[in-house]
Amino acid sequence: SYQFQCAIGFSGVIFGLIVVQSQRSGESHQSIFGLVSVPLKWYPWALLVLIQVIMPNVSFLGHLCGILVGYLYTMGILMMFTPSVATIHKIEGSALVSWIVRIPGYRLIQQETSGVLATG
């Protein structure tokens, strides 16, 4: 039963990133391991099925959840969980995280341009 399975690893995140790449790519088809070319909109699903067939003991549920979260992200539904630039400025100015801001190489958020946070 799926409720008693444990998922460990990063593969669910990879499946989410595959969805983001497939949604934002200008290509129409993607090759699966050089074996077959599938329409890009079906690529994450074909990969899910193929990997499940090749390695039946991997986390199907973890990969499926990665795909679903990838679609939620590309549709913008997860933006409600993303803090605004003003909120990030408040956090960066907080005494609780002042030690992080002082780390060499840390870059403060400076502006927002077309929904993408820019660092400077």
Q: Active-site residue numbers?
A: 11, 63
Q: Of 103, 99, 90, 43, nearest to 71 (Cα)? A: 43
Q: Which amino acid is at 11?
A: S
**Token pair in block for residue 39:** 């329409």
Please give the backbone phi and psi of residue 37, each rounded to the nearest 5 degrees, phi first.
Answer: -105, 130
> E strands, the chain, where?
29-32, 36-39, 109-113, 116-119
